[in-house]
A and B are shown apart, each in its own frame.
Chain A
Amino acid sequence: MAYLLELKKVTKRFGGLVAVNRVDFTLEPGRIVSIIGPNGAGKTTLFNLITGIYKPDEGEILFEGRSLVGLRPDQITAQGISRTFQNIRLFGNMTVMENILVGMHTRFRASPVDILIQTPRFRREEQQLREEALQLIRFVGLRASPDELAKNLPYGEQRKVELARALAARPKLILLDEPTAGMNPQETAETTRLIRRLRDELGITVILIEHQMRVVMGISERVTVLDYGEKIAEGTPEEVRRNPRVIEAYLGRGVAIGAIA
């Protein structure tokens, strides 16, 4: 089966620290997979490598068979990879609608000339994409008005705007960095359902970084565990849960031995 995303021996060092160490990772289209690991394991660094914020020191990253290494983040987004951020990074002084329209940046075709003389093409495109933004707002279940400034929204709503903004580019692959961080159980359940719908209804492949095991175990088809930048385990949630190295990484050696015994 052709992989949507393929990482081959990807390594990233910051000075003496090896943040990501020879990680291999493959992903078929249509999956929901999770990356877990203790704090500082290199999960977010891995996202930053895929989205082009960092350049890998070694290794290869292929998306639909084409290398992403050396492309700028905006070029990678244009290839069909969107992301959200661990600490929400909305454009605070822009409205919900504007945030989503910025997310659609790669899809605007109107030229500056179209903009200046407001050709029908410009108006039509603007109109269409605004309508689509409204649909996205409904899709993620946002209750706030589209004209609200993003920074005035409550936390959970901001997460939804960020998701809608990432969806706006019509990605093939979406990277969600701790989408349920700071949420109560009810919001977490809602978000979990939403993530499943991304795949089931929109056909988007999903990679999650997640700390809440309930979410990870509930929706991932495959879990990859990182520790100190290395991939220490991979498999179904059930396999990973029983893997002694994983238990050790999370809970310490003593506990791990106890658990096996």
Chain B
Amino acid sequence: MLRAKTMEWVTQIRNGRSIYLVGVLGYIVAALLLMNWLSQPGLRDAVWYPLVSALAFAAFLGSLLVIYYAPLAGAVKAILGLAILLVLLPILGVRNTFLLEVATQVGIFAAMALGLNIVVGFAGLLDLGYVAFYAVGAYLWAIFGSPQANIAFGTNRFPLEPEWFFLFLFLAVGVAALTGILLGLPVLRLRGDYLAIVTLAFGEVIRVIVNNLDKPINLTNGPQGIRPVQRPPLFFKPWLSALGIRLDDPTLYALYFYFLVLLVIGFAIWLARRLENSWVGRAWTAIREDELAAQAMGIPLVRMKLAAFATGASFAGAMGMIFAAKQYFINPESFTFMESIGVLVMVIVGGMGSIPGAIVGATVVTILNLQVLKGLSLMLNKLRQAGVVIPIINFPLSQWPTQLEPAKYERLVFGILLILMMILRPQGLIPERRHRMELAEALGREERAEPEQLPVEEELPPVIPAPEVRPTRD
């Protein structure tokens, strides 16, 4: 197997494909050099630094996309991709933990987008309250992984030890899935717009409950939020020391969460792909295409929709929990309607129903939010402090109102992004396979191999039993 792969690889390089390999490697090296150059201490104070560093990081992550599209053997792609994710990015991250923070946040949203993609993209159920499941997962660990549970239950058993984190990760998946089913049971009989409205309300209801559940028993500590949330155990610290790698705890935690999120995404991709290519995924697509016909094919609508809801919810639950542990502190503010919309935007921008699309969408939107807009804000601040005046209209930037900071443009950006996508590329950045096929169809049938001519009337297939019954009249 391995040998065959190696041979395939070698022939590919001989066949002149190596030019692509060189191109891809060149791109990665260029991105690395750019990042390296940007990490010089002197540049940090430059006005353009935040924006350029954001773009450089985006370009670096873009190398994954370059690898994805490059005509290389699967094994080569996998090696390059893993090298970036498992080696290069962590090394860059250790030098600049902010990058690791962004990458982890991208990962959290990517996993959520993958989950929502199952609900919205595969099964066509518009869920506008997806963040509720994220909140469920987050609060589950926040309550039991902090002294908060002592207040609520009058004990002093809590917080649980860090080791409990992993058990709770599974619990969060289960509880979120259960919440999805409980919500779904009454709601999934609704169609289209009505479903969207009810799920939207549900998302808000969860947030309001969390916001007010400091009385009569103080379970969530209300708007003040919960702090400190227990973090998972640094079980690998002695191993790293043995290897001679010495890092401070914040960096270790940043790395830890990064790899944890990566692991969950890997699992999410695996799960989504397996389901997509089975009767489960086909049933979901059939429901999306035509609910009535799907039911006439023997698909139990409510059960399959619940399955989609529960699967999607479980991803959000796991990610909510990791988020809570990573942030050390959570409050209801983190689970607003905007978060639901944000994840939905990721799915739409990436391409509904497309697994790579969900990941790219999450990356684009998160980097835009966390880095580009913040970078612009920082830039503006620097300009303002420098007393720069916009020429011609003679407007001093120091008078620029703080309400108009780019970092506050999140909603505007979502809106513009959605409008642009609808006009320019409604199928998403990386469209689902079916939409690609449609496109290929439009580009000309002749390019595709002529389908095998099937004989029109042939003898009966043997798998179907011969009839016992004969008509009485003819």
Contacts and interface: CB of A to CB of B under 8 A. Distances in A.
Given A77-B296, A141-B456, A152-B441, A89 B280 contact: no
Interface of B: 271, 274-275, 278-280, 282-283, 285-286, 289-290, 292-301, 434-435, 437-438, 441, 451-458, 460-461, 463-474
Contacts, number: 156
Contacts of B275: 112, 115-116
Contacts of A94: 282, 285-286, 289, 434
A149 B434 CA distance: 8
A91 B285 contact: yes
Nearest to A73: B295
B86 to A, nearest CB: 24
A102 B296 contact: no
Contacts of B453: 143
Given A53-B292, A105-B279, A141-B456, A77 B297 contact: yes
Contact of B282 (A83, A98, A143, A200): A98
A106 interface: yes
Contact of B285 (A93, A132, A165): A93
A43 B252 CA distance: 71
A115 B293 contact: no
Given A74-B300, A91-B286, A110 B460 contact: no
Question: Most A CB atoms within 10 A — which of B274, B297, B454, B465?
Answer: B297
A244 interface: no
Interface stretch (A15-23, A29-37, A245-253): A29-37
Given A94-B285, A138-B458, 8 more contacts: A51-B296, A94-B282, A94-B434, A101-B282, A105-B286, A135-B461, A146-B451, A149-B438
Contacts of A51: 296
Given A199-B471, A200-B467, A132 B293 contact: no
Nearest to B464: A202
A110 B473 CA distance: 42
Interface string A124-153: 001000011001111101111111110010
A155 interface: no
Contacts of A137: 454
B279 A108 contact: yes
B104 to A, nearest CB: 26
B interface majority secondary structure: loop
A74 B456 contact: no
Contacts of B282: 94, 98, 101-102, 105
B298 A74 contact: yes
Interface string A76-114: 011000110100011111110010011111101010100
A46 interface: no
Contacts of B298: 74, 77-78, 105-106, 169
Contacts of A145: 451-452
Contacts of A73: 292, 295-296
Nearest to A168: B297
A147 to B, nearest CB: 8
Contact of B274 (A28, A118, A139, A143): A118
B466 A203 contact: yes
Contacts of B465: 203
Nearest to B457: A141
B471 A221 contact: yes
Contacts of A110: 278-279
Nearest to A125: B279
Contacts of A83: 296
B297 A103 contact: yes
A108 B279 CA distance: 7
A102 B295 CA distance: 10
B279 A203 contact: no
A149 B441 contact: yes
Contacts of A93: 285, 289, 434-435, 438
A85 B295 CA distance: 13
Contact of A201 (B283, B297, B463, B466): B466
B293 A89 contact: yes
Contacts of A214: none
B288 to A, nearest CB: 8
A2 B251 CA distance: 77
A101 B472 CA distance: 34
A138 B457 CA distance: 7
Given A32-B471, A136-B461, A137-B454, A91 B290 contact: yes
Contacts of A53: 292, 296
A144 B451 contact: yes
B319 to A, nearest CB: 20
A63 interface: no
A8 interface: no
16 contacts: A74-B296, A77-B297, A78-B298, A90-B290, A93-B289, A94-B282, A110-B279, A116-B271, A118-B274, A131-B463, A132-B463, A136-B461, A137-B454, A138-B461, A144-B451, A203-B466
A74 B294 CA distance: 8
Given A105-B299, A169-B297, A202 B292 contact: no
Contacts of B451: 144-148
Question: Most B CB atoms within 10 A — which of A89, A102, A165?
Answer: A102
B265 to A, nearest CB: 16
A102 B286 contact: yes
